[in-house]
């Protein structure tokens, strides 16, 4: 009788692409060739964001329920960007006029550029600021 491995096979295949600390937290980016995913974790394996490398589709995202309410968004505001997986996917898929991502941590933006193909096109704006502070001063309408 063989002993069961304590680590599932798909987790054992993960390759660490980045491990470091931002001003706010520890961050790790891993890639798994078995599941074809790239994931950003914070702290001790807390899922922040991830993408399917074959399709670019964000993992574990409820934002696509928005299709039922606003099928062709024009301007979108995201509070907290993480790896920017969802805003980036919406930018490429729906081509809104503007996306604003407010994230206090510049390190996550750097990781999004390096590992998650963050769009750097005009109209896709990232603001490094606390979300509450941003909302106090923002009077623009977002969908």
Q: What pLDDT does residue 108 have?
A: 94
The pTM of the whole model exceeds 0.95: no
Burial label, 65 (beta-carbon count in 10 A; 0-12, 13-18, 19+)? exposed
Cα separation, 16 vs 24, in Å, equals 20
Cα separation, 87 vs 50, in Å, equals 12
Cα separation, 16 vs 132, in Å, equals 33
User: For each of the chain's 143 residues, which pLDDT tens digit applies?
Assistant: 444 445 455 556 889 999 999 999 999 999 999 899 999 999 888 888 899 999 888 887 766 666 666 667 788 899 998 899 889 888 888 889 999 999 999 999 999 999 998 988 999 999 999 999 999 988 877 76
């Amino acid at each position: 009788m063989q002993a069961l491995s304590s680590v599932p096979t798909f987790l054992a295949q993960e390759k660490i692409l980045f491990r470091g600390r931002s001003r706010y937290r520890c961050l790790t980016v891993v890639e798994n060739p078995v599941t074809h995913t790239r994931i950003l974790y914070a702290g001790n394996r807390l899922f922040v964001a991830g993408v399917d490398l074959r399709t670019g589709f964000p993992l574990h995202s409820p934002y696509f329920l928005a299709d039922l309410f606003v099928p062709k968004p024009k301007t979108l505001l995201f509070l907290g960007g993480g790896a920017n997986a969802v805003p980036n996917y919406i930018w490429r898929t729906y081509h809104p006029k503007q996306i604003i991502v407010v994230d206090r941590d510049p390190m996550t933006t750097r990781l999004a550029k390096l590992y998650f193909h963050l769009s750097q096109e005009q109209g896709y704006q990232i603001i490094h600021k606390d979300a509450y502070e941003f909302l106090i001063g923002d009077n623009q309408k977002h969908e």
